[in-house]
Chains A and B, each alone.
Chain A
Amino acid sequence: MKSLRACVATVLFVAGSGLYAAEIGKPMKMDEPMHGEMKKKGMKKGDVKKAAERKGQEMKPAMEKERAGGAKK
């Protein structure tokens, strides 16, 4: 009886884990409108990635300058 209960629990756990895994981690649909109430009209999920790439480029010279300054210390 104990082993049956353990078996059922294991099956439920594995099934539950599978369900959990299936519910998240889907690829983000970049051209879809953003979720949440912070967005402005027309904002899409992919805008965040584009903005992050732009920001990375903008920050690069200053970061390199600081890195060089830090290395001298």
Chain B
Amino acid sequence: MKKRTMETSLADYSPRLIRSIERRLFLRQGLSLGALALLAGCELTDDEGVQRLLMAMSRWNDRAQGWLFNPNRLAPEYPESAITKPFPFNAFYSEEEVTLVDGKDYKLELEGLIREKKPWTLPELYGLPQTSQITRHICVEGWSAIGKWSGVRFSDFLARVGADTSAKYIGFTCADDYYASIDMATALHPQTLLTFRFADQVLPPKYGFPMKLRIPTKLGFKNPKHIMSMFVTNEFPGGYWEDQGYNWFSGS
């Protein structure tokens, strides 16, 4: 029995529907592209030109999703009994290639439009007020799983370090070379957490030790693991999958 909190969110849609929406968006973008190509006399075999056009349309899509985003709408939360066991591992590499970060030497680096750029050690981060959530991780691949994450409310952390919350983006770089970014409204959402624990244990390496950003209002690939640094900026930072054509906003 899930605890309904507010209106509809990403978790209310079935994975099949998410894939179907992605396909529809792709088709719609393709049709629009055809129309634009006819109007502009654009050469569709010009890969770079087509890619640029599609990226521009995707950015327009991001803006529309940003306007529609309701910062007060909460993702559903679940009871402990609904937790998926075992929780799936998912990455662009195999489980045995999971990056091992040494917690003793770890320091979270802060850059960009942040007043206090002092790096944070794990004991310092663990010492901040923590909260937990049991939410559904929804993957663009078509599966979902419920897990329990604990950590610091990201908005609290941003306030503590004096981040410029009027800036547009927050970018992340990770120990496994992955990089990602999110919009400020999502960063300030009450359920966006900087997590250090999974299922009441220190975050295991395969789920992102030492730190994973958990955003239940966004698709799984917008939840970076093994975070090593973060920066606040007004320059669009993109993300690995987003730079390959996946929708950047990817949330509700």
Chain A: interface size category: 20 to 34
Contacts of B238 in A (CB 8 A): 55
Q: Judging by beta carbons under 8 Å apart, are A35 and B91 in contact? A: yes
Contacts of B111 in A (CB 8 A): 63, 67
Q: How far is the CB of B133 from chain A (nearest CB, A)?
A: 25
Q: How far is the CA of A40 from the CA of B244 in the complex (A)?
A: 9
Q: What mask results when residues 4 to 37 of chain A are scored 1 for a CB within 8 Å of chain B, else 0? A: 0000000000000000000111111100001111
Q: What mask results when residues 42 to 73 of chain A are scored 1 for a CB within 8 Å of chain B, else 0? A: 01010011011001100100110011001000
- Are A25 and B221 CB-contacts (below 8 A) given A36-B92, A66-B235, A70-B113? no
Q: How far is the CA of A66 from the CA of B171 in the complex (A)?
A: 14
State the total of A-B contacts with C-beta under 8 angstroms: 89
Q: How far is the CA of A27 from the CA of B178 in the complex (A)?
A: 15
Q: Which residue of B lies closest to A36 (CB)?
A: B92
Chain B: interface size category: 35 or more
Instruction: Give the one of B173, B231, B235 with max A CB within 10 A.
Output: B235
Q: How far is the CB of B243 from chain A (nearest CB, A)?
A: 6
Q: Judging by beta carbons under 8 Å apart, are A25 and B91 in contact? A: no
Q: Judging by beta carbons under 8 Å apart, are A62 and B233 in contact? A: yes
Instruction: Give the one of A37, A38, A45 with max B CB within 10 A.
Output: A38
Q: Is the interface of B mostly helix, strand, loop or mixed?
A: loop
Contacts of B112 in A (CB 8 A): 63, 66-67, 70
Q: Judging by beta carbons under 8 Å apart, are B177 and A48 in contact? A: yes
Q: How far is the CB of B48 from chain A (nearest CB, A)?
A: 15
Q: How far is the CA of A23 from the CA of B96 in the complex (A)?
A: 5
Instruction: Give the one of A36, A39, A49 with max B CB within 10 A.
Output: A36
**Which one of B93, B114, B140, B179 lies within 8 Å of A52 (CB-CB)?**
B179
Q: Judging by beta carbons under 8 Å apart, are B99 and A34 in contact? A: no
- Is B200 an interface position by the 8 A CB rule? no
Q: How far is the CB of A57 from chain B (nearest CB, A)?
A: 12
Q: How far is the CB of A40 from chain B (nearest CB, A)?
A: 7
14 contacts across the A-B interface (CB closer than 8 A): A24-B98, A38-B140, A40-B244, A45-B92, A48-B92, A48-B178, A59-B233, A62-B233, A62-B235, A63-B112, A63-B235, A70-B112, A70-B113, A70-B115
Residues of B within 8 A of A (CB): 90-100, 111-115, 140-142, 164, 171, 173, 176-179, 205-206, 221, 231, 233-235, 237-238, 240-241, 243-244, 246
Residues of A within 8 A of B (CB): 23-29, 34-40, 43, 45, 48-49, 51-52, 55-56, 59, 62-63, 66-67, 70
Supplied contacts A25-B205, A52-B177, 4 more A-B pairs, CB within 8 Å: A24-B95, A26-B97, A55-B179, A67-B111
The 8 closest A-B pairs by CB, nearest first: A62-B235, A25-B100, A49-B177, A37-B141, A24-B98, A34-B92, A28-B97, A48-B177
